[in-house]
Structure 1
Amino acid sequence: MTRPAATENKRLGVEIWIVLGLSLGASGVYAVVNLIRKATEPGGLAEATATLNSSRDTREIFDFVFQVLGIGFALVPVALALYLLSLDSVQETVSERLGLDRHRPRFDLLWGLGLAAVIGLPGLGLYGIGRLLGITAEIIPAPDVAYWWTIPVLILAALQNSIIEEVIVVGYLMTRLQQLRWSVPAIIITSAALRGSYHLYQGVGPGIGNFVMGLVFGYWFHRTRRVMPLVVAHAVLDIVAFVGYLLLADTLGLT
């Protein structure tokens, strides 16, 4: 039996709030609070730091276990979002709907690398400007203590970030807002605003930079209906940032 449009819209609205409340929506709220906390501390954002992949325990074995568990459980909201989309009465599979299938690997890889280059260099510029203006915290992408497994775990963390953000913020959210008959500009701006919000714990600069990134990625998904290149691009950016910092921090005098 087909639900009335108003009832279906209400269901989708509640569903969106639940998915975001269990994932990046909650992260956005915490990020805003953290931004206010850091901005009101002595020294403000200019002297604040944001550690992205901190150690979880002083003992190596428990640090490793907690890191892997954190990555695994963080992906549960992605599974929930994909499952909820799979309940829709459409002929396409979820992977086909979101462009997560493996039908166009060359296209996904090449465009993913291209998008990473387009986003990465301006992103570094915005970070530098933000640091000079004192509106961006010092970002520390890798832990102080490195073990033999640190680089593989950092790569897994980068993949986790890319999957969570691109599937939920772009694929899931934009699909659901389209079903609610939002306009295309409103959908893209909302997705971008969410992306910017949960990066605000790093400062105003990263928030703005990720909002712009969200506009580019949202427009890409609107035009192509493929999330996979965005996952590739995001993963490349994070892997370069995480692993590059770990390998080059001492050489570049960043520690």
Structure 2
Amino acid sequence: MHTQSYEVEARPEDRTWRSETLIVLALSLGASGVSALISFVGSVTRPGALKNQAATLVGSQAPGRPWLDLAWQVFAIASALAPVALVAHLLARERVGLPAIGFDLSRKGWDLARGVLVAAFIGGSGLAFYLGVRAAGFNLTVVPESLPDVWWKIPVLIAAAVQNAVLEEVIVVGYLLRRLGQLGWTPTAALAASALLRGSYHLYQGIGGLVGNMVMGIVFVLLYRRWGRVGPLVAAHALIDTVAFVGYAVLAGKVGWLPTG
């Protein structure tokens, strides 16, 4: 009896979406994940406890040269958003655009209100978690900013916070979940991939950065699936980072509970 085997060929669009997704990640947060892993290996193999090492998030690029420093800061923020422009282009080619993932101004008040609520919950619990894991020796001391005291310091910190929020939520939640769904991934597998990716590029901060951001990633995916929009997540993330950056700039060295590295 002859048995004929059949191979299911991948649809052309599947191959396109798969390669497209890998390229987007290689140009953005996937590459950041690899960089964070290398950085973490360097930290754990360096003499001394992790908590005695510092991970600076927004630092000076040209110490003592404020105008050149400002130019580098603006360049870094703008270039980091290039993958978001690529995602916008790719979604436009699908004839859906960024509104398909809920990144538009059609419901800006609704997005902001929910973002404030999410930020209040995630921000407070995240700070407590960070202080705990750092004290336990599983995390580096996170230094949110080390910019000089110049006129553009606060605007740059706010811009950096917004850039982080837009880049991460558009790519790690909206775009990635859309593509994985189109490729036939189960909702659970897609959630795990998104959360693991978010945790991976925070590994340079230590195990606490990895685990804490994976938990945040799970929460954000669940909220995205409930609301169908990344807008509230962008708002929440931007508020969390703005409070962290500006709060550190104001409080560092003035309160005993805030590690300064």
TM class, shorter-chain normalised?
over 0.9
Q: CA deviation at 1:151?
A: 0.3
Match of 1:161 in 2: 164
Alignment: residue pair count? 249
1:80-91 equivalences under 5 Å are 80-88=86-94, 90=95
Structure 2 residue runs without a partner (length 5+): 1-8
Partner deviation per Cα, 1:104-157 (whole Å, 9 max, x = no partner): 222111110111112111111210111111110000011152211100000000
Structure 1 residue runs without a partner (length 5+): none
TM-score scaled by length of structure 2: 0.92
TM-score scaled by length of structure 1: 0.94
Contact 1:35 1:200 in 2 (8 A): yes
Which residue of the other structure, out of 81, 98, 102, is the alignment partner of 2:101?
A: 98
Which residue of the other structure, out of 241, 247, 254, is the alignment partner of 1:244?
A: 247
1:5-84 equivalences under 5 Å are 5-58=10-63, 59-84=65-90
Which residue of the other structure, out of 163, 185, 191, is the alignment partner of 2:188?
A: 185
Contact 2:147 2:153 in 1 (8 A): no
1:104-253 equivalences under 5 Å are 104-253=107-256
* Dislocated runs of 4+, deviation >3 Å: none
Partner deviation per Cα, 1:186-222 (whole Å, 9 max, x = no partner): 1111101000000000010011010000001011112
Q: In structure 2, how many angstroms separate the alpha carbons of the residues matched to 1:229 and 1:239?
A: 15
Q: In structure 2, how many angstroms separate the alpha carbons of the residues matched to 1:148 and 1:8?
A: 49
Contact 1:126 1:206 in 2 (8 A): no
Amino acid at match of 2:181: Q
Name the Cα RMSD after superposition: 1.3
Q: Any idea what SS the aligned residue of 1:139 has?
A: strand
Q: In structure 2, how many angstroms separate the alpha carbons of the residues matched to 1:185 and 1:159?
A: 28
Contact 1:82 1:172 in 2 (8 A): no
Q: In structure 1, how many angstroms separate the alpha carbons of the residues matched to 2:58 and 2:99?
A: 32
Identity within the alignment, %: 47
Partner deviation per Cα, 1:53-85 (whole Å, 9 max, x = no partner): 010002111000000011011100110011111
